[in-house]
Amino acid sequence: MTATYVILAPVMILAALGILVVRKPVHAALLLAIVMIGLAFLYASLDAPFLFAVQIVVYTGAILMLFLFVLMLVGVDVVDSLKETISGQRALALFFGAATLALLLALVGQLSLGTMKGLAHANARGNIQGIADLLFNRYVIAFEATSALLITAAIGAMVLAHRERLTPRLTQAELATRRVREFLENGRHLGPLPPPGTLARSNGVGTPALLPDGTPLDTDSLRSPESDGHALAGKVE
């Protein structure tokens, strides 16, 4: 056991256990990042500098960011409900998980695999050169197949995520006409909504502007000349 292993293994196991119990998906993603970076350092200590870099770039860089991207689209504030839909499922899953772990650990403990030979000989000409030798000689067919797989996956994702537009997009002129018509018909405020001002606590677009006395601006009051909308709009500016 190396020092890297002794330090990282408990951290990684704790982070992985955290994924089972945290309720927010974002926290699970961050815990997964801890596990993946820990694995990257273990790869580095196991004479695999190329996989160390690939692990950081592909896993924590690309895959985890993709996860966070989809989390932002699907809703970050969703929390898992603790109610079981199948009664006893969680207890059974934990029981069989523990049984699997015991079985596998007993198996690993029984094996006498000897000491690690180390990669000093295989990495003599450099780790990346060694991997390239294998990749472009013995595994070249598999390597070519992955290119087909990646292209298929990219096209598949595009087809799945694509949505056909059902109505034609409104032009700027049509939007302006509609806005003026709404102003004429029910007196809706003609200009843009007041931005979240310096008095607002957040600069998000969803946050209404605050009036000088601290109350949120009621956008319904920004109305036509006959109401007091104009005076109010002037005060906000």
Partner 1 sequence: MHTVTPYLALSTILFTIGAVGVLIRRNAIVVFMCVELMLNAANLALVSFSNLHGNLDGQVAAFFVMVVAAAEVVVGLAIIMTIFRSRRSASVDDASVLKW
Contacts (CB under 8 A) with partner 1, residues 105-144: 105, 108-109, 111, 113-119, 121-123, 127, 130-131, 134-135, 139, 142
Q: Residue 15 contacts by C-beta under 8 Å, 6 or more apart in sequence?
A: 31, 32, 34, 35, 38
**C-beta of residue 28 within 8 angstroms of C-beta of residue 74:** no
Closest to partner 1 by CB, 2 or 219: 2
Residues 59-78 that bind partner 1 (CB under 8 A): 59, 62-63, 66-67, 70-71, 73-75, 78
> 66 and 101 in contact (C-beta within 8 Å)?
no
Per DSSP, the residues of 119-154 read: STTTTTT-HHHHHHHHHHTTTHHHHHHHHHHHHHHH
Q: With contact defined as beta carbons under 8 Å apart, do 174 and 164 qualify?
A: no
* Six token digits for residue 29: 């993603």
17 near partner 1, rule: CB under 8 A: yes
Inter-axis angle of helices 25-45 and 3-21, to 10 degrees?
160
* Residue 12 lies near partner 1 (rule: CB under 8 A): yes
Rule CB under 8 A: is residue 55 a binding residue for partner 1? yes
The reply on whether position 90 binds partner 1 by CB under 8 A is yes
Binding part of the chain for partner 1, among 145-153, 172-180, 191-199, 224-232 by CB under 8 A, reads 145-153
Minimum distance between the CB of residue 224 and partner 1, rounded to whole angstroms?
37
Subset of residues 194 to 223 that bind partner 1, contact rule: CB under 8 A: none
How many residues interact with partner 1 (rule CB under 8 A)?
A: 82
